[in-house]
Structure 1
Amino acid sequence: MAVVVTLEGTAPSVTQTANQTLIQITDVDSNGNTGTSSYSQTALVVNTNDVSTAISNANTQLSQFRTHIDEKAAMDIDTSAAEAKYNDAQSKISTAQALPSTSYTDALNNINTAISTISDGETLLDKAWAEKEISDAQGPVNNVDALIAYFQGNSSTASDARLSEVITKREVAVSYISAANDALTNGNFAQARSKAEDAYTKGNESYNDALTFKAAVEATWNPFAGLGSIGSGIGSSVILIVVGIIIVVLVVVGIIIYRKRSRWDELG
């Protein structure tokens, strides 16, 4: 025997969108005992106000994301990946806004996708920031490497204790960069930036020490080097004057020798 039942009703009102049990059927015998057979039907009951609220919240998050992108772009950070996520999220929100009120489920799905995309974009922006800090920290290390090579190629400075101090600080900076890269790989972008800042500071210390060392070495070659740019100019001028005097002397000696030989030829 089969029983066909048609039910009609009004979906219950809800304060927020949620799954609701619309019908539940349980087998009960004549004695009121519940059987093992049962059937229930649930459905998502939507509060249409949730859609407009969700769209408003998504637009707020999108606006904040736009501000973060612009801030990082001003810091010369690569925001291309974040920009792509921004455009995707903006498209999803626009689609949700354009849907009719009866398509609230599709609208909410688009909004949820947009919010997830914004979150992914913020993560990519944070990563790009950390990568920029690490790249900046490498600059002073590269600068000091050039000076270290200069010192090591000079026999008078290759074993100098001051060079050892420069190299020690340089190695500390490199270790910080390595730690920053490890943190970046592990997704700990805040720590990556912190280590990169430490590397930048220590790298600059090493570079400044190297410049001081170089100035001291050059002072032994040019007694006027301690006067800075003026001293360098004086030193260069002195060298030019000395070279000029030598050239004049050679010319005079040459003329004298030439004249003597000419007289010998005449007396010949």
Structure 2
Amino acid sequence: MSLRLIKLNSGYSIPSVGMGCYNLPPAQTSSIVYEACKLGYRHFDTAVLYHNEAEVAQGISKYLQDHPGAKRLEFFYTTKVWDLQQGTAGTRKAVKDMVAKIGNLEYIDLLLLHSPLPGTKKRLESYAVLQEAVEAGHVRSVGVSNYGRHHVEELLQWSGLTHPPAVNQIEISPWVMRTELAQWCLAQGIHVEAYAPLTHGNRLAAPEPGLALAAACKKYGKSPAQVLVKWSLSKGYIPLPKSKTPSRLKENLEVNDFELTPDEIAGIDQPDSYDPTDWECTDAP
């Protein structure tokens, strides 16, 4: 299936659904990514922390090699600088290592700072290096992850900014909506990638009967995962569902044949809930 493309403030386009590669076993990652490419995925999200950057790139590269009609431009490869690498020297080395891992992919589509935790000085030093990588042609778009509004404002007000963040990647689901932060980012022209949109599976096994999620699943003949991916898309976000099972990978993409109504979206919303399944550092100093 074809994925809608979203134009970033860098001028490049990103597929509207990506495959999260966190916790994929490195020994299996290349083959899982290859199968995902066959199913229609064109957007892959990895990180230094995941220890599978090279394997993600290998899976995409093998697919391109085996399918001459497929073009590199169709694919979108994201990775992230880990916290311990932040700072000028550390980030320069990280970028060099990342570029060495992409093989035949030639460039990194999106490079993010994984979190704001290293503090203002290292955040800005690292972002300066990301901008250098864009100017050198190694990276096309840059951005941040797990940033709160004050972190993004710090960056937007920085005198050294030449490439505004294209993306803020944060955990978003109906149970950790972050509506104010996400809508503010969108208003700044910064797209929002929603990681853990399926709550790491915590809420998928048995949606509470009688509630809007279960009702939508029944009405449209869709799984909870599919409805949650659609919910995220309906909010204007770019969801990054993760699975290593081909049937579920396929299912997570099959969301173009139904639309949630505004009432259904509002019913799935859990504005009074705050239940992140991952780390929380949007409120870090």
TM-score over 0.5 (shorter chain) = no
Q: Which has the higher strand share?
A: 2
Bigger relative contact order, structure 1 or 2 (CA pairs below 8 A, ≥6 apart): 2
Q: Which has the higher helix share?
A: 1
Higher radius of gyration, 1 or 2:
1
Category of TM-score, reference length = shorter chain: under 0.3
